[in-house]
Amino acid sequence: MCGRYTLTLDDRLLRELFGISPEAAGDFEYSPNYNICPGSQVPVIYSENGAGASMRLMRWGLIPKWAKAPSIGYKMINARAETVHQKPAYKVPFARQRCLVPADGFYEWQKDNGGKIPYRITLPGEAPFTFAGLWDKWISPEGERILSFSIVTVEASEGVREIHNRMPVILADNSSRDTWLDMGTPVSELKGLLTSYTGELVSYRVSTLVNSPRNNFPQLIERIP
């Protein structure tokens, strides 16, 4: 599972890092976020109707086209890789509406004596990366248009498994990102991307202040000995 993550870059650095032109980045401003929670509006890289990659703000928690109300999105923040091609809410987005979710870390909680200890997990040097995601567009009866997304998860890799048994799919290089966004990629190749990350990951304990979605400041990502 992935229930919280971080993205501590501003919108200008995001565009530069992922090669998104100002014209393709949409009209939005984004500030560093140290505690991204379900329902948050965050930058997502996607392609619509065969066009080139664009970056837009989307709501975390996928709202299927057929949903009666947007509240269903809070139950759909993650899509399991094992069944993503079968579930009614995800099979169409998996086929034609895949996206990249920029991040530079994510949180998981380790059970300990009846409590839970929060950890932040990053690439070495806290290098930015992307999660594999799925997006959809929901239009309310009044005409409100909401773009939303889910993060695809898999069984945790060895280093993360000690903290939690699931983790998000990490796409850390341009080749895997291009393959995921290419709507012509065969299903077998897509499934090959949906695996536990095999590269080096760094995990460290952080303050329980991250438990509250109301808290969002740099101290949340500081290491606790």
Residue 116 sits in a domain whose CATH number is 3.90.1680.10
Instruction: Please count the structural domains in the chain.
Output: 1
2 belongs to the catalytic site: yes
**Residue of 29, 108, 144, 158 marked catalytic:** 108
Domain boundaries, position 53: 4-221
The candidate with the shortest Cα–Cα distance to 130, out of 107, 159, 161, 152, is 152
For every one of its 225 residues, what pLDDT tens digit does the chain have, with 9 covering 90 and above? 789 999 999 888 888 888 888 778 777 888 999 999 999 999 999 987 767 889 999 999 999 999 999 999 999 999 999 999 999 999 999 999 999 999 999 999 999 888 899 999 999 999 999 999 999 999 988 889 999 999 999 999 988 999 999 999 999 999 999 999 999 999 999 999 999 999 999 999 999 999 999 999 999 999 998
Residue 104 backbone dihedrals phi, psi, to 5 degrees: -135, 15
200 belongs to the catalytic site: no
| Residues forming beta bridges with residue 110, ordered by sequence position | 117
